[in-house]
A and B are shown apart, each in its own frame.
Chain A
Amino acid sequence: MIFLKIFTTELSYHFRQIITWIYLVALLAFIFIMKSVITTGDGVYINNSFHITAVSVIGGMIWLVISANIAGGSAARDAETRMHLLTFTTPVEKRFYLGGKFFAALFMNALLILTLPIGILLSFYLLKSADSELLPFSVLPYLNVYFLILLPLVIIATAFQFALSLITQRSLMSYFASFLLAFLGQILAIATARLFNNWDLVKLLDPVGISGIVGNELQTWTLLEKNTRLIRLEGMFLWNRMLWICLAGGIFMLSYYRFQFATIKRPTWFEFRKKISVSSVIHSGIISTSAIKVPTATPDFSLTSKFLQTLKIAKASFNRIARNLFGFSLVALAAIVPAFFGKNILSNFGIPVLPTTPQVVDFLSPPLGSIDSPYVIIPLLILFFTGDLIWRDRDANSNDLIDATPISNWILFLGKFLGIIWVIFAWMLILMLGGSFMQIALDYYHFQIGLYLKVLFGIQLVNYVLFALLSMFIHILANNKSLGYLCVLLAFILISFHDALGVHHHLLVFASDPGWEYSDMRGFGNTIFPWLCFKIYWAAWAVLLAVVAILFWPRGRLNFKDRIQLAKRQFSKAILKISIIGMCLLLLSAGFIFYNTNMLNKYVTQEDILNHKAEYELKYGKYRNTLQPQLSGTDLQIELYPEKRKADIKATYTLTNKDSVEIDSIHFGSFSEFELQNVEFEKSAKAVIEDRELNYYVFQLKHALRPGDSIKFSFEVHYKSVGFQNSNNRSLVEKNATHFTNLDLLPLTGYQPNYEIKDFQSRKEHQLPYRPELPSLYDERARRKPILADQNNFKVTLGTSKNEVAVAPGNLKKTWEKGGRNYFQFETDAPLRGEYSIFSGDYEVIKTKWKEVDIRLYYDPRHTLNIDRMIKSTKSALEFYTKEFGPYPYGHFTIVESPDNGNGMHSEASMVDFGGQFALLNPDVTPEGFNLPYYIMAHEVGHQWWGGAGVTPAYVEGAGVLVEGLSVFSGMQVLEKDYGKGHLEKYIDYLHADYALPHSLASPSLLQADEPFLYYRKAGIAMHTLQEYVGQDKVNSALSQILQKHRNGDLPLVTTLDLYKELETVTPDSLNYLLNDFFLTNTYWRLKTEKVEIEELDTDKWKVILKIDAEKFTVDEEGSEKNIPMQDWIEIGLYQEKNETPSEIYLKNHFITSGKQNIEIIVDKKPSFGGIDPRSLLIDIRVDDNLYFLED
């Protein structure tokens, strides 16, 4: 009965709170925004279960962070309002009191979160557009998400929130509980999964489901499954629910038993003794002292005194936060813990990166709104502590005392603001220590203290301080604690997701900026000045917000009307002056920024780009099949002025008619905003179309170009980077950082279908006709179009400033100095195809030779770690490919460091560039290690045969397999040749690793591959497996056949069908199924060694019985699975392990059929482990059960 009374009283309290309804509205708003933002794919209905599940999980997260106060309030409100003096003294039993409170909160939360399924259901019907079709209504998905996802979350979260608030007797601690669950839970889950490389662990550990359900489970659903599939309470998910409910129950019980109906701390013995002696003094003193005499201390209201007051309040605020359990501990944790995992954090493709300060600082300094960094805790802590400071006096009920003192509002405001600034300062110091500690832990001692200071105490501090001010402003204006927290959180979410919400201009997103970046070559480049301009602009806003906050500072018990009155009265001359200064600064900086971003430069949104592309297609798509001569020669005169961010280009193109009919008009154009100037044709030609908006030009020749004839035309491009832009302030030409390609500035001939919008949905929105993203392999017409067509004899003269070296593809013919500038002339000795790059920077150069090929490597003098490795790999690869596939066409090979922080390499004809982070990769090159950079270099050299200068496939499905897949395979062979089987196996594991990531099994076949995963990973595995089964020589000879037949780029162009045909000719009939499984269908194996039994027959004779379970199945593009009877040759291996180094005892192919089977082998050594497909040649989602380990 008492329980019921407490329960209903508590519940009705929540119902009467406005904030409860605000939570409800917030959840509904989220649902409706999601509904209108998300577009479903082709074949997925609007009310699909994927949407219902995903929105429920994310909505659950939002509920978790905004409405923690419900449980927190139930647990601690009595103590906070000092009601506990009354309630605790009533004869209510603890279990009824806490039970009533807890279950009321639980019930309230369960009710509140019911908003999600109901809201989602409503959103389908209320936001239904005319042409969208709905699946017939079923209550099942809604019940499913409510009872399996949301209700357990409510139970877990309420228990955590309630317990933490109960223990501390502070309702706000419930937000910390939410924080722990929402962020720490996720981060821990992902970190653990990474550590053990088992993504199932995320499903197990993530309490909320953002990464466990949305990021993991849902990713494995196929298109068709998205419609109706539901989360099932089984496997890891079941364990997850059990684990968290147990944890929640545990912490709840702990808080329950700790709770006592008393709050006054019993004095310790020491205090007790002291108390007695003191109280006697008091009594003796009371009557006898009658007069009071207070020394006169005249209050001082001078400016100095106000300054001292500000400091005092700042100090008190700082101490308040410093003494909070979470004040520094969380940031310290987030700084120190990563230091121990530096090797994993500062790594690329699993290879550690040299922990230079720029690398560490990059990790420590995410943008303010970034939510996938552990440092998201900093804005969240700011949100919490600013609220705490603003509400401190009212929470302590000291506000009347303080408000009646003559302290000015602005001092109270500035004091608290200064306090939080000091705290942020301390946090930055902690981050800096954590970063240095990470470097020390990785045995790296070259600290760039200056960079730490610039980034943490310059950039990050300013961002956080601006956010703190916004947070204080909102808390003051909201004048309601829960509402304040909700609004600040909302502001943070808006800052984080401004791009997704369609707000792109940084003048509109609080505290934002165009971004900055730092690379060793570029430094901060041109990113700091625009950053500063934006920060001045936001600082001006901050001043105005501060003025409003001070005017509305909550003082006394004023109602809204009185507050406005008071604000008016306080609007003094000084405040007016500050406001005017702030306003002027705001307008000036806004004007200056707008002038730069929108007038000096074109302000281009993603939508503008799409519109531009759509217009291009609509206007000029009709020329798609107009015959055009091909580019056969390029002669460039480029003057680079890196300091002025300027380049002048004079170009002459030679075009040759390679078709069999006459061509009478030349089409060309570029996608850069820099227009072509002084276009002149060698023979008489007249401009028919000169579209400077879309940069499309058509010239009519007076005399048509006959087959085999050529024509020259020349033009100029003047590039100049002026001012700054709203985003990406890298210039193409910049001090020690010049890098651009022909696509950036120079025109291409003919209409460019590549420029068309590819995405199906966007095409629909722009009323463009349907076309597949990639033409079908079986589209005969498409098969006539190559990826790259040109056969371009290239010549360039490059001028650059006197400190820099300019680089382009080709032999370096000449260098000279003129007028204080350096000049370089390059010329290729065989035609280039497609893209080429120009670089200029303060490079160090290494020149060497492989046979007749000149190899030149241009690198930043600080980045020497991988130099020798790159050269060695290049030479080895050139040697190997020449032998296996055919000759290298050029007498030159150039490797250049790109000025940016890229972590990979990029290949063009006769030239490869690598990013600043690639240069820092620090692989283990011992036999147990994995020299990935060496492989990558060999892979890029492989592109000289596959893609680039070599084979150029038709632009249809599967083209990526020929370009990337074959380069992967080539690189793997070079890695194996030079570093042995160990390194190769690491690479194969690396290829397989992505299969372990949660994703849908549905996929097209390799022949019709349409995505990078297939191009790189699956094609690499397929080719390597084939090599193991069929033999390296045979496979390589098949590949060299392709090159021999298609090298010159003539029709018919090569496709994956040719690859298949060549492989078929070298593959014995008995293994034909393998080709079929890897290339024609999307086949998976399920191989498992259930048990290995051994029996000693004789000395040195062991009988081994392996119990194998095997299965093979295909999954088509829609996701339907089909079992395939197995009659496959699969390796069985046995190994002996001595001193932790396994050695092979037995490895042979066995004929395996579907189902369980026993395999008997006699060997002469005692095996310690063994199993089926030990080298992971086949595609098996779970490779960890292939081997069985015997116990000794």
Chain B
Amino acid sequence: MNQDKILSIRNISKTYAHGVQALHNISLELPMGMYGLLGPNGAGKSTLMRTLATLQDPDEGEISFMGIDVINQKEELRKTLGYLPQEFGLYAKAKAEDLLDYFAVLKGITNKAKRKELTESLLKQTNLWEKRKHKVGGFSGGMKQRFGVAIALLGNPKLLIVDEPTAGLDPAERVRFLNLLSELGENSVVILSTHIVEDVSELCTKMAIINEGEILSEGEPIELVNNLHGRIWRSIIQKNAFDTITNQHSVISTRLLSGKTVVHIYSEANPGSNFEMVTPDLEDVYFSAINGHIGKASLNPAL
């Protein structure tokens, strides 16, 4: 099997009943390791993730994972799948250890002794051991999220899909969580969807930027950053000059810095003396893509 193409997504499209096209002819090839799916809210990330997690069918297209036809062999895929949805609830009145035990059985771990060992370990790993006798209804956002991870990790998944996992976590929890994911990425496919650029830049070996149901850009983060080299310029301006700049240049991002505004623009030629060239980072790649400066059309000549 081709090590580079473990999960392959081919020409996936999905239109919802109310007319919104969530996915538009998406094709991706995912290797082992951690893969970041970056995009703003409503870009179609969750639809794609749910489709990969067998919870939704595309209108068109095919998905295969290690020889499993994901759309037609859902149960096969689920045997090696770990899924952490963006938003989920738990049986509020159940105790943490009982609920994890329940999910372990659902995942097929029916050997009692092994299951006990596994759930105990997962509860410890996710720092919920002390809370194991508590009802999950009283869990905080972070605790719930960690519990979700514990569920996702049950049964040694080969494909781990985590949808916006860091949203509810405090900084420390986030770090630990991402470490955990990257470790898992060593021998499985981990797909991480997020709208936070750092999540991807710190960990992912490959990534894609998605917006309005389309893949705008795909590749290794470093490579994407390198492709942008020499095209991102920065200027520090007064607030009132902002409109002028917007009219004249392709502004990709603005940020406030000590009362002034730092503007990044995308320009293939030198935009002028007010601007200095900056070394692009992943955030610039993201904003350039979102603002339409790199996409399938504009990316090709650069490659």
Interface check A991, CB cutoff 8 A: no
Q: Which of B50, B106, B180 is in CB contact (< 8 Å) with A292?
A: B180
Interface check B93, CB cutoff 8 A: yes
Mark A291-332 against chain B: 1 for CB-CB distance below 8 A, else 0.
Answer: 111111111110011001100110010000001000000000
B56, B110, B155, B183 — most chain A CB neighbours (10 Å): B110
B87, B130, B180 — most chain A CB neighbours (10 Å): B130
B45 to chain A, nearest CB (A): 14
Whether A309 contacts B125 in the complex (CB less than 8 A), given A287-B172, A400-B85, A406-B78, comes out as no
Can you identify 15 A-B contacts, CB atoms within 8 angstroms?
A: A281-B127, A282-B127, A292-B184, A297-B115, A301-B79, A305-B110, A313-B106, A396-B90, A404-B55, A404-B78, A406-B75, A406-B78, A406-B107, A556-B55, A569-B72
In Å, the complex CA distance between A308 and B107 comes to 12
With a cutoff of 8 Å between Cβ atoms, the chain A residues found around residue B87 in the complex are 397
In Å, the complex CA distance between A297 and B173 comes to 26
A310 to chain B, nearest CB (A): 10
Interface check A286, CB cutoff 8 A: yes
Interface check A528, CB cutoff 8 A: no
Cβ-defined contact, B106 with A309, below 8 A: yes
With a cutoff of 8 Å between Cβ atoms, the chain A residues found around residue B105 in the complex are 308-309, 312-313
B122 to chain A, nearest CB (A): 6
Interface check B54, CB cutoff 8 A: yes
Q: Which of A202-210, A559-567, A863-871, A944-952 contacts B (4 or more CB under 8 A)?
A: A559-567
Question: Which 7 pairs, one residue from A and one from B, show the smallest C-beta to C-beta distance?
Answer: A397-B89, A299-B108, A556-B55, A404-B83, A406-B78, A400-B85, A308-B110
Cβ-defined contact, B111 with A297, below 8 A: yes
Interface check A283, CB cutoff 8 A: yes
Name B residues whose Cβ lies closer than 8 Å to a Cβ of A: 17, 50, 53-57, 72, 75, 78-79, 81, 83, 85, 87-93, 102-111, 114-115, 117-118, 121-122, 125, 127, 130-131, 138, 148, 151, 153-156, 172-173, 175-176, 179-180, 183-184
Cβ-defined contact, B125 with A406, below 8 A: no
Interface check A136, CB cutoff 8 A: no
Interface check A500, CB cutoff 8 A: no
Can you name the residue of chain A whose Cβ is closest to the Cβ of B112?
A308
A711 to chain B, nearest CB (A): 85
Cβ-defined contact, B83 with A281, below 8 A: no
Q: Which of B78, B111, B153 is in CB contact (< 8 Å) with A294?
A: B153
Interface check A398, CB cutoff 8 A: yes
With a cutoff of 8 Å between Cβ atoms, the chain B residues found around residue A282 in the complex are 127, 130
Interface check A232, CB cutoff 8 A: no
Cβ-defined contact, B110 with A300, below 8 A: yes
Interface check A278, CB cutoff 8 A: yes
A132 to chain B, nearest CB (A): 48
With a cutoff of 8 Å between Cβ atoms, the chain A residues found around residue B115 in the complex are 297
Q: Which of B72, B89, B103, B130 is in CB contact (< 8 Å) with A396?
A: B89
In Å, the complex CA distance between A565 and B155 comes to 29
With a cutoff of 8 Å between Cβ atoms, the chain A residues found around residue B122 in the complex are 294
With a cutoff of 8 Å between Cβ atoms, the chain B residues found around residue A401 in the complex are 83, 85, 88, 90, 103, 148, 151
Can you name the residue of chain A whose Cβ is closest to the Cβ of B170?
A286
Beyond contacts A312-B106, A562-B56: 14 other A-B pairs, Cβ-Cβ < 8 A, are A289-B125, A293-B125, A294-B153, A295-B117, A297-B114, A299-B107, A300-B108, A300-B111, A308-B105, A323-B93, A392-B91, A400-B85, A407-B78, A556-B50
In Å, the complex CA distance between A398 and B136 comes to 12
Mark A252-283 against chain B: 1 for CB-CB distance below 8 A, else 0.
Answer: 00000000000011010000000000100111
Cβ-defined contact, A286 with B102, below 8 A: no
In Å, the complex CA distance between A282 and B173 comes to 10
With a cutoff of 8 Å between Cβ atoms, the chain B residues found around residue A298 in the complex are 109, 156
Interface check A290, CB cutoff 8 A: yes
B89, B109, B118 — most chain A CB neighbours (10 Å): B89
A285, A299, A400, A556 — most chain B CB neighbours (10 Å): A299
Interface check A1153, CB cutoff 8 A: no
With a cutoff of 8 Å between Cβ atoms, the chain B residues found around residue A313 in the complex are 105-106
Mark A391-432 against chain B: 1 for CB-CB distance below 8 A, else 0.
Answer: 010001110111111111000000000000000000000000
Cβ-defined contact, A278 with B88, below 8 A: no
Can you name the residue of chain B whose Cβ is closest to the Cβ of A565?
B57
A845 to chain B, nearest CB (A): 66
Interface check A557, CB cutoff 8 A: yes
With a cutoff of 8 Å between Cβ atoms, the chain B residues found around residue A264 in the complex are 138
Within A528-561, which residues are at the interface with B (CB < 8 Å)? 555-559
Cβ-defined contact, A265 with B179, below 8 A: no
A395 to chain B, nearest CB (A): 8
Cβ-defined contact, B156 with A294, below 8 A: yes
In Å, the complex CA distance between A557 and B180 comes to 29
A374 to chain B, nearest CB (A): 30
Q: Which of B75, B93, B175 is in CB contact (< 8 Å) with A408?
A: B75
In Å, the complex CA distance between A308 and B104 comes to 12
Whether A557 contacts B125 in the complex (CB less than 8 A), given A278-B130, A404-B78, comes out as no
Q: Which of A290, A301, A309, A400 is in CB contact (< 8 Å) with B55?
A: A400
Q: Which of B90, B103, B118, B131 is in CB contact (< 8 Å) with A405?
A: B103
Cβ-defined contact, A398 with B110, below 8 A: no
Q: Which of B92, B155, B184 is in CB contact (< 8 Å) with A297?
A: B155
Can you name the residue of chain B whose Cβ is closest to the Cβ of A407?
B106
Cβ-defined contact, B83 with A309, below 8 A: no
A264, A292, A555, A557 — most chain B CB neighbours (10 Å): A292
Whether A562 contacts B57 in the complex (CB less than 8 A), given A292-B125, A294-B156, A308-B105, comes out as yes
Cβ-defined contact, B153 with A405, below 8 A: no
With a cutoff of 8 Å between Cβ atoms, the chain A residues found around residue B54 in the complex are 403-404, 556
Can you name the residue of chain A whose Cβ is closest to the Cβ of B172?
A286
Cβ-defined contact, B50 with A400, below 8 A: yes
Within A469-492, which residues are at the interface with B (CB < 8 Å)? none
A305 to chain B, nearest CB (A): 4
In Å, the complex CA distance between A402 and B106 comes to 8
Can you name the residue of chain B whose Cβ is closest to the Cβ of A412?
B106
B138 to chain A, nearest CB (A): 7
With a cutoff of 8 Å between Cβ atoms, the chain A residues found around residue B81 in the complex are 404, 406
With a cutoff of 8 Å between Cβ atoms, the chain A residues found around residue B153 in the complex are 292, 294
Cβ-defined contact, B183 with A292, below 8 A: yes
Can you name the residue of chain A whose Cβ is closest to the Cβ of B122?
A294
In Å, the complex CA distance between A404 and B52 comes to 10
With a cutoff of 8 Å between Cβ atoms, the chain A residues found around residue B131 in the complex are 278
With a cutoff of 8 Å between Cβ atoms, the chain A residues found around residue B53 in the complex are 400, 404
Cβ-defined contact, B57 with A566, below 8 A: yes
B107 to chain A, nearest CB (A): 5
In Å, the complex CA distance between A405 and B109 comes to 11
In Å, the complex CA distance between A5 and B116 comes to 53
Whether A294 contacts B125 in the complex (CB less than 8 A), given A404-B55, A557-B55, comes out as yes
Whether A286 contacts B176 in the complex (CB less than 8 A), given A264-B138, A291-B183, A298-B156, comes out as yes
Cβ-defined contact, B90 with A398, below 8 A: yes
In Å, the complex CA distance between A727 and B156 comes to 59
B42 to chain A, nearest CB (A): 16
With a cutoff of 8 Å between Cβ atoms, the chain A residues found around residue B102 in the complex are 312, 316
With a cutoff of 8 Å between Cβ atoms, the chain A residues found around residue B154 in the complex are 297
In Å, the complex CA distance between A396 and B88 comes to 8
Can you name the residue of chain A whose Cβ is closest to the Cβ of B135?
A265
With a cutoff of 8 Å between Cβ atoms, the chain A residues found around residue B92 in the complex are 396
With a cutoff of 8 Å between Cβ atoms, the chain A residues found around residue B50 in the complex are 400, 556-557
Q: Which of A292, A297, A397, A556 is in CB contact (< 8 Å) with B117?
A: A297
Q: Which of B57, B88, B108, B127 is in CB contact (< 8 Å) with A406?
A: B108
B278 to chain A, nearest CB (A): 32
B17, B138, B153, B155 — most chain A CB neighbours (10 Å): B155
In Å, the complex CA distance between A313 and B102 comes to 8
Within A1045-1088, which residues are at the interface with B (CB < 8 Å)? none
Cβ-defined contact, A400 with B138, below 8 A: no
Cβ-defined contact, A286 with B173, below 8 A: yes
With a cutoff of 8 Å between Cβ atoms, the chain B residues found around residue A305 in the complex are 108, 110
With a cutoff of 8 Å between Cβ atoms, the chain B residues found around residue A312 in the complex are 102, 105-106, 110
Within A547-595, which residues are at the interface with B (CB < 8 Å)? 555-559, 562, 565-566, 569
